């Protein structure tokens, strides 16, 4: 499998590494804001037609990780809340060489390596992943969807 979980527990946090994972919805330069809370995040995609990917997603879900499916895509979200007192403390993001800071927006389909820490919640028997760092292995350029930006003043609304 492409995941490595260290056996050593430290205050109920476990270092976890994911290698060569395709991602979507990566928000690592500007935080995502949802319901008034800001966080750095990305979703690692699992191709459920690939036996290895399916086995990894199934094992993670069975272990308590929050593997979800939405719109036919199976994914595992990794995030870190923005510290309001220290907003500059964000996960490190580096390029393919593992050293150079990577500042471009990461498009859907990019391949990355992810370092995170997993926290096991005894109350609900789930594991939450917190991003510590990301290495961009294969970058797909982020292309902002046209959305309402494509509609100019005086244009007919297309719906």
Q: Domains of the chain by range and CATH?
A: 3-143 (2.40.50.140)
**pLDDT at residue number 158:** 44
As a whole number of angstroms, the distance between CA 119 and CA 68 comes to: 18
Q: Which residues of the chain have pLDDT under 50?
A: 1, 9-10, 146-159
**pLDDT at residue number 146:** 42
- What phi-psi label fits residue 28: left (phi over 0), alpha (psi between -120 and 50 degrees) or beta? alpha
As a whole number of angstroms, the distance between CA 159 and CA 142 comes to: 26
**pLDDT at residue number 12:** 65
């Amino acid at each position: 499998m492409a995941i490595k979980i260290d056996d050593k527990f430290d205050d109920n946090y476990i270092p976890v590494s994911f290698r060569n994972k395709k991602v979507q919805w990566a928000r690592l330069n500007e935080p995502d804001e949802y319901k008034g809370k800001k966080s750095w995040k990305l979703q690692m995609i699992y191709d459920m037609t690939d036996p290895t990917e399916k086995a990894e997603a199934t094992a993670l879900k069975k272990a308590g990780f929050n593997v979800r499916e939405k719109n036919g895509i199976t994914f595992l979200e990794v995030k870190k809340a923005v510290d309001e007192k220290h907003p500059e403390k964000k996960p490190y993001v580096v390029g393919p060489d593992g050293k150079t800071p990577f500042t471009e927006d990461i498009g859907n389909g990019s391949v990355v390596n992810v370092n995170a820490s997993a926290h096991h919640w005894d109350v609900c028997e789930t594991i939450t992943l917190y991003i510590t760092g990301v290495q961009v292995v294969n970058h797909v350029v982020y292309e902002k969807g046209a959305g309402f930006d494509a509609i100019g003043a005086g244009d007919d609304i297309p719906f």
